[in-house]
Amino acid sequence: MVSPSPRFLTLPDVAEVLNVTVRQVYALVRSGDLRGIQIGGRGQWRVEQVELEDYIQRQYARAQANLSELDHEHSSAE
């Protein structure tokens, strides 16, 4: 039986999914762009799978808005 994916991911796990560095993920969490929680006595960060998916969807929406804005600027310039 295949075990389900974990509910919470470590910052290195998130970095692997996003193909970025752990430092970049830490910056996203600290800035609030990517919601995470600190657990344990050492305050290790964890990101819930659903929060990561939400972040990814927001980035797609942002990219689409940027493309639409560029298309609009390009068509206005003509």
Task: Give the CA count within 13 Å in the CB-facing half-sphere of 17.
Answer: 16
Residue pLDDT, tens place only, 3-33: 678 899 999 999 999 999 999 999 999 999 9
Q: What predicted TM-score, i.e. pTM, was given to this entire model?
A: 0.80
Supply 65's token pair: 């808005």
- Give me the domains of the chain, ranges plus CATH numbers: 8-77 (1.10.1660)
Examine the pLDDT at 76 and tell me if it is beyond 80: no
What is the Cα–Cα distance from 74 to 25, expressed in whole angstroms? 33
Residue pLDDT, tens place only, 59-69: 999 999 988 87
pLDDT above 90 coverage of the chain, percent: 76
Examine the pLDDT at 2 and tell me if it is beyond 70: no
What is the Cα–Cα distance from 7 to 49, expressed in whole angstroms? 6
pLDDT score, position 4: 76
